[in-house]
Structure formats: C-alpha cells, structure tokens
Amino acid sequence: MKQSLINDVLQAMLPYLNNEQAERLQVVMQHELFSYELIEKESKDKETKLNLVELFLAAKRIEGCSEKSLKYYNSTICSMMNGVGKEIKHIETSDIRNYLTEYQKRKRSSRVTIDNIRRILSSFFSWLEDEDYILKSLVRRIHKVKAASNIKGTYSDEALELMRDNCTELRDLAIIDMLASTGMRVGEMVLLNREDIDFNERECIVFGKGSKERIVYFDARTKIHLKNYLESRTDGNPALFVSLKEPNDRLNIGGIEVRLREFGKQLGLQKVHPHKFRRTLATMAIDKGMPIEQLQQLLGHRKIDTTLQYAMVKQQNVKLAHRKYIG
C-alpha cells in the first residue's frame, strides 16, 4: 500500500523532477511513512484506465496503424488489464509475466502468439513511459519469446502448373496468376478495382499495411488471363474480382481462401493458401539473384528482416554452393 502511494506521488511529480531528485523523494517518503498505516478507499478509476488505452490507440492511429491492428491492440490490452485486475499504475513486471504464463496454459497458445502479445504490451507500456504516465515500462525486462524456426513451404513449379491447368473458371486462373506473379497480399488484392490495372506497364498500385501505397508488377501471362477474365464479365461491379453468382459482389479474403483450399483438396495439394504464393515469389526471386532491398520494396516490408524470413533458400542451391565453394 505504502509503495503504491509512493509510486503514485512519483508519477505525478515526474515531469518536474530529474532522476536524482526523484530518487531522493522516494527515500524521504519511505522514511516518513514508515511508522504510518495506510487504508485505501474503494475507488476504481475505470475511466482513467480506459482513457489511457484510447489515447494510446489514438497515437497508433496517427502513426498509420490500420483499424484491424488497432482492434487487436485494444482487445489484447483490455484482456491483460482484466486478467491482472489492477490499476495500470499498480501493475508490476511479475503481473505481466504471470498473465502471459497463464494465458499460454489456458489458451494453449503458440510461442509466436505469446510474443505478439508481449510486443503489444511492450508498445503500450513504453508509450505510457514516454508520456510520463508511469515511471518506466514494466515489459522492458520481459525478453522476446523464442519460437521454433519452422520452414514454411512454397509451391513447386509443378504445383503451380497443376493449378493453372485445372482451373475451370477464368476468374480463378486470373487470381492464381495475380498472386503468383505479383507477390501481393490477398488483403491488398481484394481491394483492387478494374481501373487500378495498368495493362500497358503491367503494374498496379496497391495499399499495403498502414495504408502505404506501392507499385506491384505482373507478368505477360497474368496480363492475358486477367484480360480474358475481365472481358468475360457482364456485371457492372468496379471490383477486380467478384463472386461468380449474382449479384457478383466483391470477393473478400475469406472467399478466396476457401476457394483455394477446396481447389487444393481436389488436386491433392497440401496447404493451398494465398500467402503461400507470396512466399513462393520471394523464394524464387532470391533464388534468381534479386537484391534483397528490391525484394523488400516489392513485397512492401518495412523491415528487411521480415523479407529475409519470407525468402527461403532452396536446399538444392545450398548443395550446389557447397560443391562450388567447399568441394
């Protein structure tokens, strides 16, 4: 109780004190309050708690975070606060550690999921520290959760051709070629309209994460198949890809994922997913010698480390390189 009061006073005085003065104030208060017994009045300041979260989300919105990300941030932070059951200014590092441990046990979450939660909480508490709402971030001492490095698969040339050869709909063929040749995210593709496609330059502008614009490019085969699909349509929907049945609504992410998954099952292909086309393009680009900086730009990654995670080096090339350089 006493330490909580001291922390509250220190937080309130932090803008007016340097580190040495804050440390001295803490020592004096601990000495002066030593012989006193404190009783806390019941007053849960829920509005302050919620306001801090809202202010944090507003700051992230200004930085360019998508509404989808903000919704995930909000649910993650609120879940933590409900789980810990303390006011933000009274939460300790051990509370966060215990919360993450219990969450992993209860939800049977992967290490990747737990580290994502840790990163969001770290961002939140770092912002609280920067804005002088707390003395220092509680999550700073909780290190990155190490996860097993899983090699995620890519499509072989044979698998890609098998999918193309067995497409019965012009739309599905155009979708597969568009994903395979551009490496764009499926969430970017479903937002495209017909007018966004520049057939002369074989390119289009997409809006990536954080509404960032970038140009992506497609090959000659995709140009032909995309033109054939658009010329076959009789609807007036401006969307690039629409449902096959009336009223021919714009395709969403879930619709494409389900379509590809069912298509893969019919052909006996495992784990057919839109994102796998993106990894395949990245791996192929690295394999053919594309500079990693250019691939980063093509994929729309903010950090080059993300690009390196996407791009797999083919084992056969490792074998050839070993023979060439080592013997």
What length is written for the chain? 327
pLDDT tens-place string over residues 139-167 = 888 888 776 656 578 899 999 999 999 99
Distance CA 104, CA 51 (A): 28
Which tokens in the block code for residue 297? 């730009």
> Does domain 157-321 correspond to CATH entry 1.10.443.10?
yes
Residue spans in the chain of domains classed CATH 1.10.150.130: 51-150
Detail the DSSP E strand segments found in 75-198. 197-198
**Beta-carbon contacts of residue 26 (< 8 Å; ≥ 6 apart):** 6, 10
Residue type, 77: I
Please state whether the peptide bond connecting residue 238 to the residue before it is cis, i.e. omega within 30 degrees of 0: no
pLDDT score, position 305: 83
Mean pLDDT of the region 63-86:
90
- 81-112 pLDDT, tens digit per residue, is 999 988 887 888 899 999 999 999 999 988 88
190's tokens: 């479903």
pLDDT at 316: 64
Nearest C-alpha neighbor of 8 from the set 96, 94, 88, 104: 88
Is the pTM above the cut of 0.85? no
* Distances 244 to 143, 163, 256, 273 between C-alpha atoms, Å: 49, 19, 12, 20
Q: Which CATH class is domain 51-150?
A: mainly alpha
Query: What average pLDDT does the segment 188-216 reach?
Result: 91
Average pLDDT over residues 28-44: 69
CA distance 14 to 22: 7
- d(Cα 111, Cα 53) in Å, to the nearest integer? 25
pLDDT at 217 over 80: yes
Tokens of 159: 């698998």
**What region does 296 belong to: left with phi over 0, alpha with psi -120 to 50, or beta?**
alpha
Residues of the chain with CATH 1.10.443.10: 157-321
Asked if pLDDT for residue 255 goes beyond 90, the answer is: yes
What confidence score (pLDDT) does residue 326 get? 76
Strands 197-198 and 203-207: antiparallel
Question: pLDDT tens digits for 256-313?
Answer: 999 999 999 999 998 899 999 999 999 888 888 888 899 999 999 888 888 887 666 5
Which letter does DSSP use for residue 103 in this model? H
Give the pLDDT of residue 46.
46
Q: What share of the chain is helix, strand, coil (3-state, %, to 5)?
A: 60, 5, 35
Task: Give the Cα separation of 248 and 229 in Å (integer).
Answer: 14
Decide if 272 contacts 156 (C-beta within 8 A): no
CA–CA separation, 158 vs 303, rounded Å? 32
